[in-house]
């Protein structure tokens, strides 16, 4: 299992080969998406009604991870320690709490020694 960052979901939906290949390669594992990434994805200002309907259906293929008190505490710790923006702290805290590798293109996550980072573009 692994946790997908919003940028990976966007690349997947754009049809980026590296990301699609990675997801296919991991098909025996179930990917999880933190609820904050769902918010980021569905909040894109230029989404049409058709795209929004598609995205909601697309998200049904994943396990959605809620943001609870334990995740909030981990996120706060990562935000303090690594000076992360709130959404990134939530993502890092959630990945760490669930002991899941974080699949992302964001290079600033590399400084977080407690996380295993996977970049599908470098595989």
Complete domains list, the chain, with CATH:
2-122 (3.40.50.1010)
Whether the predicted pLDDT of 57 surpasses 80: yes
Beginning with the edge strand found earlier in the chain, give each strand of the sheet holding 2-4 in spatial order. Answer: 63-65, 31-34, 2-4, 102-103, 117-118
Give the pLDDT mean for 49-74. 92
107 pLDDT tier (thresholds 50, 70, 90): very high
The predicted structure's pLDDT at residue 61: 85
pTM, two decimals, is 0.90
Higher pLDDT, 60 or 23: 60
Give the pLDDT mean for 5-30. 85
Q: How many CA atoms lie within 13 A of 96 on its CB side?
A: 21
Whether the predicted pLDDT of 41 surpasses 80: yes
């Amino acid at each position: 299992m692994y946790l997908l960052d919003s940028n990976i979901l966007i690349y997947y939906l754009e049809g980026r080969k590296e990301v699609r290949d990675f997801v296919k390669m991991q098909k025996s594992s179930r990917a999880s998406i933190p609820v904050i990434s769902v918010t980021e994805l569905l909040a894109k200002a230029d989404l049409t009604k058709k795209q929004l309907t598609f995205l909601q259906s697309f998200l049904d293929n994943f396990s959605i991870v809620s943001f609870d008190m334990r995740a909030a505490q981990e996120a706060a710790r990562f935000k303090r320690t690594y000076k992360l923006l709130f959404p990134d702290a939530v993502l890092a805290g959630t990945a760490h709490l669930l002991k899941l590798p974080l699949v992302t293109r964001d290079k600033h996550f590399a400084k977080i020694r407690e996380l295993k980072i996977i970049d599908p573009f470098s595989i």
